[in-house]
């Protein structure tokens, strides 16, 4: 399988002299981007550079114009911070203390006044390290869902949008962002150093982890409060999808950079899972039928918004909420698609307080100590109250039965 994928990658990237090219499926794109040969696509690595070349060649084969600073590429150098709570610093210097990422940017020019940005980050965690939830040493983190799935969907939309009869009242800028896992670096750099006039950007679509649509077809759509019409358009096109709505324009992905530049955003996300930031996030676990459903859904939204003039921007009410500081961790992956009361656990990290206390995937935390937990924000606020070494009673709902467990942080 690896040999076949490497041959396909080599042919697509370095040859491609045929006048007519066979369409590439989202499954093929994910399989190539999440292949072991790219060693996890860590920002600045040789594997990420190979992925960038592959994406650029895909853009070229789709007939899209280069819109980087060097052909399809927009390189940026940065100095990584040793403090995980401090942002990396962009720099023009290139030495042993700096690293270089590169966004891959293409443009569909419909000679329109305004432009829609469609983006997805293509970097991942390489062999693990900072950000990985794997505790058994180095291993390739292929990031099939995070975020080869988003890049594949972006390419699928690019293919759909350049065909005759597609929405053409806007131009479309497609960006594969580098450095997202390092702190939204690529999107931050692009917004500060745009290759188009961002005052003409009507809205931005972001796809991050869109490859695990569940049996209930639950899809998280954020940014619904960033322009007045977005919620109506999203729900009108949802079909069988169950939309987990969130108005906020701020979140842990590249749409945040655009929201902070006063651009309406629509980020899409199928939720975290037990393979998140682990070597087990591989191609065979991706729901490609679900990706087709989501891609068609996004295309229908784009089509509905095509007749609109430049969308008005609106700040969302919860951006002023301060995320509390934590001295402890429970050691769980929250289910961000859960719409019930409490915080449902979607995964439990090994050798952490939750696992030691016997908490399981599917448990819903409804109380921590004296603090009620009704949603993610109340969960985070409750967690911020505790000290390392402290033992608290945590109340959970397990399949309809309330249980109390003692958790030591």
pLDDT at 68: 98
Query: Domains of the chain: which residue ranges?
Result: 2-318, 323-408
User: What percent of the chain is modeled with pLDDT above 90?
Assistant: 76
3-state secondary structure 310-359: CCCCCCCHHHHCCCCCCCCCCCEEECCCCCCCCEEEEEECCCCHHHHCCC
| Cα distance between residue 331 and residue 329, in whole Å | 5
Band of residue 20 on the pLDDT scale cut at 50, 70, 90: low
Band of residue 96 on the pLDDT scale cut at 50, 70, 90: low
pLDDT tens-digit profile of 101-142? 999 999 999 999 999 999 999 999 999 988 898 988 899 999
| Cα distance between residue 178 and residue 194, in whole Å | 15
Band of residue 81 on the pLDDT scale cut at 50, 70, 90: low
Domains 2-318 and 323-408 belong to one CATH topology: no
117: how many CB neighbours lie within 10 A of its CB? 27
pLDDT at 318: 57
Question: With 50 as the cut, is the pLDDT of residue 85 above it?
Answer: no
pLDDT at 330: 94
Question: Six-digit token pair at 89?
Answer: 């610093």
63: how many CB neighbours lie within 10 A of its CB? 11
pLDDT at 14: 46
Question: Six-digit token pair at 102?
Answer: 């590169």
User: Between helices 149-161 and 46-61, what is the axis angle to 10°?
Assistant: 20
pLDDT at 284: 98
**Is the separation of the CB atoms in 249 and 223 below 8 Å?**
yes
pLDDT at 334: 86
67-71, 76-80, 115-119, 342-346 — which is least confidently predicted? 76-80
pLDDT tens-digit profile of 165-205? 889 999 999 999 999 999 999 999 999 999 999 999 999 99
pLDDT at 98: 80
pLDDT at 135: 85
How much is the CA Rg of the chain, to the nearest whole Å? 21
Band of residue 401 on the pLDDT scale cut at 50, 70, 90: very high
Query: Quick one: average pLDDT of 271-291?
Result: 95
263: how many CB neighbours lie within 10 A of its CB? 23
pLDDT tens-digit profile of 334-392? 888 888 899 999 888 888 999 999 999 999 999 999 999 998 888 988 999 999 999 99
pLDDT at 320: 43
Question: Six-digit token pair at 44?
Answer: 């600045």
| Cα distance between residue 278 and residue 75, in whole Å | 28
Band of residue 83 on the pLDDT scale cut at 50, 70, 90: very low
Q: What is the mean pLDDT of the chain?
A: 90
User: Between helices 46-61 and 26-33, what is the axis angle to 10°?
Assistant: 160
CATH class assigned to 2-318: alpha beta
Band of residue 267 on the pLDDT scale cut at 50, 70, 90: very high
| Cα distance between residue 271 and residue 265, in whole Å | 18
3-state secondary structure 200-257: HEEEEEEECCCCCCCCCCEEEECCCCCCCCHHHHHHHCCCCCEEEECCCCCCCCCHHH
Q: What CATH number belongs to 323-408?
A: 2.30.42.10
Burial 86-107 (b: 16+ CB within 10 A, else e): eebeeeeeeeeebbebbbbbbb
Q: Is the pLDDT higher at 21 or at 153?
A: 153
């Amino acid at each position: 399988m690896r040999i076949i994928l490497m041959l396909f990658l080599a042919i697509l990237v370095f040859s491609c002299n045929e006048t007519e090219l066979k369409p590439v499926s989202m499954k093929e794109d994910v399989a190539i981007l999440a292949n072991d040969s790219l060693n996890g696509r860590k920002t600045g690595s040789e594997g990420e550079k190979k992925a960038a070349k592959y994406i650029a060649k895909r853009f070229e084969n789709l007939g899209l114009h280069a819109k980087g600073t060097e052909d399809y590429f927009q390189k940026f150098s940065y100095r990584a911070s040793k403090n995980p709570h401090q942002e990396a610093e962009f720099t023009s210097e290139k030495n042993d203390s700096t690293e270089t990422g590169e966004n891959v940017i293409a443009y569909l020019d419909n000679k329109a006044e305004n432009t829609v940005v469609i983006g997805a980050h293509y970097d991942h965690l390489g062999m693990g390290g900072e950000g990985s939830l794997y505790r058994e040493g180095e291993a390739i983190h292929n990031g099939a869902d995070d975020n080869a799935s988003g890049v594949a969907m972006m390419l699928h939309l690019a293919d759909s949008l350049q065909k005759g009869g597609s929405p053409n009242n806007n131009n479309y800028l497609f960006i594969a962002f580098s450095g997202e896992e390092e702190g939204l670096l690529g999107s931050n750099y692009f917004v500060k150093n745009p290759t188009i006039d961002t005052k003409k950007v009507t809205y931005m679509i972001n796809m991050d982890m869109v490859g695990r649509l569940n049996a209930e077809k639950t899809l998280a759509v954020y940014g619904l409060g960033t322009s007045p019409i977005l919620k109506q358009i999203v729900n009108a096109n949802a079909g069988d999808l169950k939309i987990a709505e969130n108005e906020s324009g701020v979140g842990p992905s590249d749409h945040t950079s655009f929201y902070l530049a006063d651009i309406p955003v629509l980020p899409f996300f199928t939720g975290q899972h037990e393979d998140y930031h682990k070597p087990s996030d591989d191609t065979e676990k991706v729901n490609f039928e679900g990706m087709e459903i989501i891609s068609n859904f996004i295309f229908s939204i784009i089509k509905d918004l095509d007749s609109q003039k430049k969308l008005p921007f609106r700040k969302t009410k919860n951006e002023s909420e301060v995320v509390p500081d934590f001295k402890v961790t429970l050691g769980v992956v929250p289910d961000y698609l859960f719409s019930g009361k409490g915080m449902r656990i979607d995964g439990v990290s090994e050798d952490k307080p939750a696992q030691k206390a016997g908490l399981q995937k599917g448990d819903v935390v409804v109380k921590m100590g004296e603090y009620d937990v009704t949603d993610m924000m109340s969960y985070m606020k409750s967690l911020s109250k505790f000290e390392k070494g402290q033992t608290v009673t945590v109340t959970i709902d397990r399949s309809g039965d309330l249980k109390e467990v003692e958790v030591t942080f």
